[in-house]
Amino acid sequence: MGSMGEGELPRTEGSGPQLAHPDAAGHYYRAATYPPRPVWVRLDAILVRDPGKPRHVNGAGVHMTGERPGTLTHWVPTLDGEWLGRVTYSLQYADGRPDLHVRDQLVPAYALRPRRG
């Protein structure tokens, strides 16, 4: 383990999802998953309601409950040692419009679980 320079933060590689390859400077800012992995995205874990906030139903909104299939392409570590998955998935509109496709969204690891193909 090398010594840290002034102002550098300690690095803890390998304390979560496996990192693939360092960038040109030798840093592990994110790790690609190869091949991309199918996952379930727990929508309830992404959008947490403030317990004191009154509910206001919007028939044109997107469903943010249950799980949706997604594709995990990268793991990104946070400063505090947590992990975020970079995921592409879709959301269903309540009024039946075509799904809203969202790409490369950062999703907390606790809101993801493996999915079979």
Number of domains in the chain: 1
Q: Is residue 16 part of a domain?
A: no
- Mean pLDDT, rounded, for 37-41: 97
Residue 26 domain-assigned (yes or no): no
Q: What are phi and psi of 35, to 5 degrees?
A: -70, 165
Edge-to-edge order in the sheet of strand 31-42 = 100-108, 83-91, 67-77, 31-42, 112-114
What's the whole-model pTM score? Answer: 0.73
Percent of all residues in the chain with a pLDDT value above 70, rounded to a whole number: 74
∠ CA 95-115-94 to the nearest 5 degrees?
Answer: 5
Residue 15 placed within a domain: no
Encode pLDDT of 60-77 as tens digits. Answer: 999 999 999 999 999 999
Task: Look up the domain containing 103 and give its range.
Answer: 39-49+60-114
| Token duo for residue 16 | 């979560």
